[in-house]
Amino acid sequence: MSQQLRNTFADLERDLVHEDGPRISTMRNYRFCIVVYDPKREFELRREVQRLHSTLRESGWVVKDISLQKLLFARLRRRGEGFIQHLIDREKLVFGRNPARGINLLGQKLTVELEGPAGIARDVADEIKAFAKAHPDKVERTVAIVGRAGALYPFFRNSALLKHLDGQTDNIPVVLLYPGQREGDGLKFMGQLKPDSDYRPRIYG
């Protein structure tokens, strides 16, 4: 187990359960943070997330898990029966002729579902709002953990997700699990994409 990952989650836990309320951001009414981790340590990360679950629940907190992977597939299924298989078959065909065109084809289809205020950010916000509506007495001690961002690689910028979530989460703290690395003043998604420095949240890790 990575000691750095343990330390990251220890810092996050301390700031979440602060006696004066969550301290995961230096900005008032902006309760977002990012946990950066090496994509190769995905399973270690999941164990740390489960440990955090247990600790927070023992302290009277409620944890709302949100999988970006599940939300993406739910969106694609709403496009109609067979849409996902058609997309896979089409990408395979084009990729066999020209790999770059295959990736571009997927990008064109998925960007519509992922980007903008009506994209996957809306689905995340809807999940949080629905939970808050169903459990109004627990909102003050609820945290949303958004994970499986790697499933959206390479077609998505996580900074865009947080931008469109701002003001849409009933002030529930949101922790985004980010597979990647720091590079300069930015974050490099999956250690591959050009570093993105368009971030306001506190970054752990």
- Judge whether residue 44 has pLDDT over 90: yes
The residue type at 189: F
CB atoms inside a 10 Å sphere around CB 35: 25
Please report whether residue 132 resides in a domain. yes
Going by pLDDT thresholds of 50, 70 and 90, the confidence category of residue 194 is low
Distance, CA of 63 to CA of 106 (rounded, Å): 33
Please report whether residue 105 resides in a domain. no
Please report whether residue 106 resides in a domain. no
CA-only gyration radius of the chain, Å: 18
CB atoms inside a 10 Å sphere around CB 13: 16
Please report whether residue 156 resides in a domain. yes
Each residue of 166-188: pLDDT tens digit?
889 988 999 999 998 887 777 88
Going by pLDDT thresholds of 50, 70 and 90, the confidence category of residue 127 is very high
Please report whether residue 12 resides in a domain. yes
Average pLDDT over residues 132-138: 90
Question: How many structural domains compose the chain?
Answer: 1
CA nearest neighbour of 177 among 139, 204, 143, 140: 204
Please report whether residue 146 resides in a domain. yes
Tokens 């998505």 appear where? 156
- Judge whether residue 193 has pLDDT over 70: no
Average pLDDT over residues 75-84: 79
Distance, CA of 62 to CA of 179 (rounded, Å): 24
Q: Got the DSSP string for 178-189?
A: EEEEEETTEEEE
Please report whether residue 28 resides in a domain. yes
CATH number of the domain bearing residue 197: 3.40.50
Higher pLDDT, 77 or 71: 71
Please report whether residue 195 resides in a domain. yes
- Full residue range of the structural domain in which residue 184 is found: 3-68+119-204
